[in-house]
Structure 1
Amino acid sequence: MKQIHLLVWTATLAVLAGCGSAAAEPGASAPAATKLAVVATTPEVADFVRNIGGADVDVTQIIKPNVDPHEYEPTPADLQAIASAELVVKNGVGLEEWLDRTIESAGFKGTVVDSSQGVTLREGGHHEEEAEGEHAEEEGEEHDPHIWHDPRNAEIMVTNIQKGLAAADPAKADAFAKNLTAYTAELDKLDSDNAAAWAEIPAADRKLVTNHDAFGYYIARYELEFVGSVIPSLDTSAELSAKQLTDLVAKIKATGTKAIFAESSLPPKTTEAIAQQAGVKVIAGEDALFGDSLGAPGTPEGTYLGAERHNTQVIVDALAG
Structure 2
Amino acid sequence: MPGFPRLPHIGRIAVALTILLTACGAPAAAPIPTPRPLTVAATTPIVGDVVRRIGGEHVQVTVLLPLGADPHAFEPSPQDIARVADADVVFAVGAGLEVFLEPLLRSAGGKALRVELTEGIPLRPFEVEAHSEGQSAGGTELHAHGEWDPHVWLDPNNVITWTHTIEAALSRADPARADRYRRNAEAYRAQLRELDAWIREQVSQIPPERRKLVTDHQVFGYFAHRYGFEQVGVILPGVSTVAQPSAREIAALEETIRALGVPAIFVSSTVDPALARRIAQDTGARLVQLYVDSLSPPGGEADSYIQMMRYNVRRIVEALR
2:87 to 85, 93, 100: 85
Aligned to 2:190: 185
Matches within 5 A, 1:37-186: 37-127=39-129, 140-186=145-191
Query: Segments of 4+ in structure 1 off by > 3 A?
Result: 126-132
Query: For 2:126, what is the secondary structure of its paired residue?
Result: coil
Aligned to 1:18: none
- In the TM superposition, residue 32 of structure 1 has moved relative to its aligned partner by 7.6
Q: Residues 40, 129 of structure 1: CA spacing in aligned structure 2 closer, same or farther, 3 A cutoff?
A: farther
- In the TM superposition, residue 233 of structure 1 has moved relative to its aligned partner by 2.8
Query: For 1:209, what is the secondary structure of its paired residue?
Result: strand
Matches within 5 A, 1:229-244: 229-244=234-249
5+ unaligned residues in a row in structure 1: which ranges?
Answer: 1-30, 133-138
> 1: distance between equivalents of 2:113 and 2:191?
28
1:254 to 248, 259, 263: 259
Give CA deviations for 1:157-189 in whole Å, capped at 9, x if unaligned. Answer: 121011000000000000000001000011101
- Taking only aligned residues, the RMSD between alpha carbons, in angstroms, comes to 1.9
| TM-score normalised per structure 1 | 0.84
Query: For 1:302, what is the secondary structure of its paired residue?
Result: coil
Residues 1:206 and 2:211 aligned together: yes
> 1: distance between equivalents of 2:69 and 2:219?
15
Give CA deviations for 1:41-74 in whole Å, capped at 9, x if unaligned. Answer: 1111101110000010000110111100000100
Q: Residues 64, 79 of structure 1: CA spacing in aligned structure 2 closer, same or farther, 3 A cutoff?
A: same
- In the TM superposition, residue 33 of structure 1 has moved relative to its aligned partner by 5.6
Q: Residues 44, 149 of structure 1: CA spacing in aligned structure 2 closer, same or farther, 3 A cutoff?
A: same
> 1: distance between equivalents of 2:42 and 2:147?
23
The one-letter amino acid of 1:82's match is V
Query: For 1:305, what is the secondary structure of its paired residue?
Result: helix
> 1: distance between equivalents of 2:249 and 2:112?
46
Residues 1:309 and 2:321 aligned together: no
Q: Which has the higher helix share?
A: 1
C-alpha contact (below 8 Å) 1:125/1:143 kept by paired residues:
no
Aligned to 1:25: none
The one-letter amino acid of 1:79's match is I
Q: Residues 216, 129 of structure 1: CA spacing in aligned structure 2 closer, same or farther, 3 A cutoff?
A: farther
> 2: distance between equivalents of 1:179 and 1:236?
35
Greater CA radius of gyration, 1 or 2? 2
C-alpha contact (below 8 Å) 2:87/2:111 kept by paired residues:
no
Q: Residues 131, 161 of structure 1: CA spacing in aligned structure 2 closer, same or farther, 3 A cutoff?
A: farther
- In the TM superposition, residue 300 of structure 1 has moved relative to its aligned partner by 4.3
C-alpha contact (below 8 Å) 2:265/2:287 kept by paired residues:
yes
The one-letter amino acid of 1:292's match is D
C-alpha contact (below 8 Å) 2:131/2:252 kept by paired residues:
no
- In the TM superposition, residue 261 of structure 1 has moved relative to its aligned partner by 1.5
- In the TM superposition, residue 110 of structure 1 has moved relative to its aligned partner by 2.5
| TM-score normalised per structure 2 | 0.84
The one-letter amino acid of 1:305's match is I
C-alpha contact (below 8 Å) 1:125/1:233 kept by paired residues:
no
Query: For 1:70, what is the secondary structure of its paired residue?
Result: coil
The one-letter amino acid of 1:199's match is S
